[in-house]
Structure 1
């Protein structure tokens, strides 16, 4: 009976898994493109660094903290008008990717900033003393030294996005979370609820394993 039920669910599970990966992939790409430069900006404009700027630092920090302080489910609902304007709809994985991306950018930016803070200030001062430009310091000193930490940050962000994507199912965002809510919660189908939980656990474990592996390979210290 259980095997028959699982066999029936395979097409639904496949579609839900692909939708989850679609949402996470888009959101992660946007988070890296937006969060990496934002995290660098937060670091290099801090006190005592080569692009010190209290105004920019405070403004960027305020925006990051403001977005991060809003629980994702509230942010998801609050952004529905913007999502509709941008994508033409408020349901489906593409629409859910909008809120996921906006939530992920400041989250990843803070991780990047934290990774950069672990770099020895002496290395930065040595680069400045030999006349390196700000761009050269960022490209040749900061990013290479912070690479393992940034990769760990990408891993953490990806895992967080998997969890957020499950919450997106509450508003019809699609994916594994949507499947669990529609069948597991509303229809009291324990089989699909347990199956979706197992899939999410396995996915997170795989992401963590790959992230740790890649970080170790890139750590030359």
Structure 2
């Protein structure tokens, strides 16, 4: 029997090459957007912490401006952001469709998303860690580099895991505008062609991918946590 529990096995096997391409597109989106978000979002998050009224170098007025901008970008639903920055996307990658075009809004959305995580993770360490470092004569740079970021590593890794899981969902949403990836695959076959079995197969792949990222990230964070 080629049909098991509603799954047309023969049809799914026939589409496996396309599934492989879709998975590859999803991985490309994540492998570009997430590292860029970490590289830019980490110093931005550190600055948000340092420039806050209780931070290492308070700059209340500028902090309010940057903090508000971060909140504005984070509050945009991804699909709306995807459409709103079409001119920016076209300028950066020369097109508004395909995997490359989706990476631009994904990255723009991910940077403030991760920056807020960084700020919160550092803030949760408490003032005692900073005071202890200051009492030993550490400079601001040393406090950030050798104390705060080191102590916050498990929490930061957990935040990276949460962000990656969230953006797997965002990358799937990009299929609505022909962005490629598993979401695009599911929409093309499950929605436009009414091939429910294929759509369910794509959903199962997404669940497996999310679970793999979550389990891997959680285990890695536990290894870095000195309390365990």
Alignment of 1:122-133 (within 5 A): 122-133=128-139
> CA-to-partner distance for each residue in 1:93-136, whole Å, 9 max, x for gaps?
11100000011111111111111111131120121233211110
Alignment partner of 2:159 out of 137, 153, 160 = 153
Counterpart residue number, 1:25: 31
Counterpart residue number, 2:5: none
Alignment of 1:153-192 (within 5 A): 153-192=159-198
| Residues in 2 aligned to 1:108 and 1:58: alpha-carbon distance in whole angstroms | 18
| Residues in 2 aligned to 1:17 and 1:49: alpha-carbon distance in whole angstroms | 42
1:211 aligns with 2:227: no
Gaps of 5+ in 2: 3-7
SS at match of 2:152: helix
Alignment of 1:32-111 (within 5 A): 32-111=38-117
TM-score, normalisation: structure 1: 0.97
Counterpart residue number, 2:208: 202
TM-score, normalisation: structure 2: 0.94
| Residues in 1 aligned to 2:198 and 2:10: alpha-carbon distance in whole angstroms | 12
**Number of equivalent positions:** 221
| Residues in 2 aligned to 1:7 and 1:116: alpha-carbon distance in whole angstroms | 48
Q: CA RMSD for the aligned pairs? A: 0.9
1:115 aligns with 2:93: no
SS at match of 1:60: helix
Name segments (4+ residues, structure 1) moved above 3 Å: none
Q: CA deviation at 1:191?
A: 1.4
Q: CA deviation at 1:48?
A: 2.6
